[in-house]
Amino acid sequence: MALTETLSNIYLFIWQKKILKELDQNITFFERYRDQIFFTWNKSNALELETVLRTIRENHSNVHFQKLIGTSVQFVNTYIENRQRQLYSRIYHDLIIQSYTLPYVVGHSKLAHSDWFLSALIRAVCYCSSVEDFNQERIYLELTSLTNGYSLLFVGAHVQYFCNYFHTHAM
């Protein structure tokens, strides 16, 4: 990690604590990734949210943000939605990026590709709020691997390893 990134994270952590203090009890979910934050506001009064955001803007002039109000949002490859007051999430696939492409560099070993596949399955478990969405993402990952030349044996073995490791039934 570069020194500038470390210093940036320290600064953002201090800034994050100040923001959370100003937001107080009105948020139900807060997430920060690098220099981006995401939070849900549990008050129905939009004027109160606008007042809090104005206060943040006045006290921290170097902070820039974009306010989105709605029932769904995409944040760091995650689709998050409020479905009748229940938090719903799944992996977000950007429509601009070509489907079924692998995020690897030429020259990586098979082990690196195996690690990618297992990491992607673990990410799917963490991101998906329903079993159906996880299964859909698992199928997407399997198709991605098959499309990029991996054998059915490779894919099946890794899915089976994942299921055995996490003590889940076969999907």
139: how many CB neighbours lie within 10 A of its CB?
Answer: 11
User: Would you tell me the crossing angle of helices 110-127 and 152-165 to the nearest 10 degrees?
Assistant: 50
Mean of the per-residue pLDDT values for the chain? Answer: 82
pLDDT at 157: 94
Q: Residue 47's pLDDT is what?
A: 82
What is the 8-class DSSP label of residue 107? T
pTM: 0.72
Of the candidates 33, 124, 129, the one whose C-alpha atom is nearest the C-alpha of residue 81 is: 129
The pLDDT, as a whole number, for residue 126 is 92
With a cut of 70, list the residues of the chain below it in pLDDT.
Answer: 1, 22-27, 43-44, 103-111, 170-171
Which tens digit of pLDDT belongs to each residue from 97-126?
A: 888 877 665 566 666 777 888 999 999 999
